Amino acid sequence: MRDQSKSNGVVLEATKVSKEVSSPEGSLTILSDVSFQIVAGESVAVVGPSGAGKSTLLALLAGLDLPTGGHVVLNGANLSELDEDGRAGVRAESVGFVFQSFHLVPSLNALENVMLPLELAGKSDARAAARRIIEQVGLEDRWSHYPSQLSGGEKQRVAIARAFATEPAVLFADEPTGNLDSRTGTNIMQLMFELNRSSSTTLVLVTHDTGLAERCDRILALDAGRLVNDSEAAA
- What's the Cα-to-Cα distance from 36 to each of 130, 133, 207, 231, rounded to whole Å? 34, 32, 18, 11
Verdict on whether the full-model pTM lies above 0.75? yes
- Report the alpha-carbon distance of residue 146 to residue 105 in Å, rounded: 9
Report the 10 Å Cβ neighbour count for 233: 14
- Report the alpha-carbon distance of residue 183 to residue 181 in Å, rounded: 6
Cβ distance 85 to 163 under 8 Å?
no
- Pick the closest to residue 156 from 135, 139, 171, 131 (CA basis): 139
pLDDT the model gives residue 1: 33
pLDDT the model gives residue 4: 39
Domain boundaries, the chain: 4-232
Q: What is the pLDDT of residues 115-134, one digit of tens each?
A: 998 888 888 899 999 999 89
Residue 38: CB partners within 8 Å, gap ≥ 6? 10, 11, 12, 13, 44, 170, 202, 204, 218
Cβ distance 100 to 24 under 8 Å?
no
* Domain spanning 4-232, CATH class: alpha beta
Collapse the DSSP code of 146 into the 3-class scheme (helix H, G, I; strand E, B; otherwise coil) and give the result. Answer: coil
pLDDT the model gives residue 6: 45
Distance linking the first and last C-alpha atoms of the chain = 37
Segments of the chain scoring below 70 in pLDDT: 1-8, 233-235
Residue 137, amino acid = V
- Report the alpha-carbon distance of residue 138 to residue 2 in Å, rounded: 38
- Report the alpha-carbon distance of residue 169 to residue 136 in Å, rounded: 19
- Bridge partners of 74, per DSSP, are 12, 77
Q: What is the pLDDT of residues 43-56, one digit of tens each?
A: 999 999 988 999 99
- Report the alpha-carbon distance of residue 82 to residue 37 in Å, rounded: 20
- Which segments of the chain does DSSP mark as H helices, in order? 54-61, 84-94, 110-120, 126-136, 152-165, 182-198, 210-213
pLDDT the model gives residue 193: 87
